[in-house]
Structure 1
Amino acid sequence: MVNIDQGESQPSDLDRIARSPEVSREGWIQTVEDVQAMMADRENEGYETLFLPSGHTTPKNPESGETEEWGLSYIVPGNKVDPFIEFNERANFSETAVYQSTAGENVFIVTECIDPEAKLSLFIGGAYRIRFSPPMVRTAMEEGKMYSHLKRLDGTLIHTFEHEHPESFFPDPDQFYAYETDI
């Protein structure tokens, strides 16, 4: 449990993630600023938006755990779970846009799930180490699809999105394959 001194407030999810030692602060701050600008653009077009900043993002391949689940696994902050569930119940996401940048070994990614008819746009943001991603990238390219898994901190699955066009996530797969090891 975190102890907060009198007069201090609990840090927001975005502040907590930005201070994480596993994530480049500058890259995450830029990602959040970009998401806020994209959300403002969508809202100007009449969309309702929701941003899920992941507390931890893991690239998973079918052999990386007890299940054959693969794709990007995002830990959703507890205070975002109910708003997401309510938002998702009203949506039929039919479009996906992927925005990402790389800084060193970190990939900063935002996946936008769009329902143009209901005018709903969900932004899922996270960061992961590129060196852990080659098996996931290879699987996505071979299968012709990609997955985003939203989970609670305890690992309970909240929702899975299946995305067509893995090349949207990995426009240059060789950039990821360069980190493969023979271990």
Structure 2
Amino acid sequence: MVRLNADESNPDELERIARGADAAREGWKRTLEEARAIADAREEEGYETLTVFAADTAPVAPEAGERDYWGLSYLVGSSDAEEAAAFHERTAFDETAVYQNQGQGGNVFIATECIDLEAGAILLIVGAYRMRLAPDLVRTATEAGRMFSHIRRGDGTVVASIEHEDAESFFPDPDAFYAYEVAGEPADTLPDPTGDDAAPSDPE
């Protein structure tokens, strides 16, 4: 995060940060709207759908702390976690569609559609994360040729893990992520998922 002392404030820099924050909020709001539109369209096609909105999304590399998994880890509220766990237990996802936008400040807004064609069921996972936190995950997923999505409770318990066979759909331009390893840390401009534009959720 860019930090400025009161007596060292640069109006141009502060304005840039403010613009980035506004753009991030708009990007998140647009992602929520698009996710709901996708879910509505799938239901009209006859699919059963469940959409979960993450209060936090973390890119997790294999060597990250004590976690024994890697991929994108989505923190959801307790009721969403229970629904996602039950939904996952009775489905076998065989296709994935990824919808994402990169916003100002290096933010990625993502909706991952996990599809069980035989059961006619779709799990839609919606979140946002910072590109500067993802280079290690991008490298791992690109080399492995696969990707994972994990839904977790507030206490860290993973209630659903989904494997995706195509890492490129998540990271079509790996170099854009690797650039953050040498470019330094941009302004922290992701919107607060508990703010005015937040999706309904009850994270523990």
Deviation at 1:68, TM superposition (A): 4.4
Deviation at 1:82, TM superposition (A): 2.0
Q: Give the count of matched residue pairs.
A: 162
Give ranges in structure 1 of 5+ residues lacking alignment.
Answer: 1-20
Does residue 79 (structure 1) correspond to residue 79 (structure 2)? The answer is yes
Q: Structure 2 CA distance, aligned partners of 1:74 and 1:181?
A: 27
Matched with 1:45 is: 45
Deviation at 1:40, TM superposition (A): 1.1
Deviation at 1:121, TM superposition (A): 0.7
Amino acid at match of 2:63: E
Deviation at 1:27, TM superposition (A): 1.1
* Greater radius of gyration (CA): 2
- What RMSD in Å do the two structures reach over aligned CA positions? 1.8
Q: Structure 1 CA distance, aligned partners of 2:73 and 2:79?
A: 18
- Provide the identity percentage: 52
Inter-CA distance 80–68: structure 2 relative to 1 (3 Å threshold): closer
Matched with 1:163 is: 164
Does residue 135 (structure 1) correspond to residue 140 (structure 2)? The answer is no
Give ranges in structure 2 of 5+ residues lacking alignment.
Answer: 1-20, 185-204
Q: Contact between 1:51 and 1:124, CA under 8 Å: does it hold in 2?
A: yes
Q: Structure 1 CA distance, aligned partners of 2:63 and 2:171?
A: 20
* Higher RCO, Cα 8 Å, sep 6+: 2
What TM-score does the superposition give when structure 1 sets the normalisation length?
Answer: 0.83
Does residue 153 (structure 1) correspond to residue 146 (structure 2)? The answer is no
Deviation at 1:67, TM superposition (A): 3.2
Structure number having the greater strand percentage: 1
Q: Contact between 2:81 and 2:151, CA under 8 Å: does it hold in 1?
A: no
Deviations 1:138-181 (A, max 9, x none): 00001111111111011011121111110010111111111114
Matched with 2:120 is: 119
Moved over 6 A (4+): none
Deviation at 1:58, TM superposition (A): 0.4
Deviations 1:38-75 (A, max 9, x none): 11110111001111100100011112211342111110
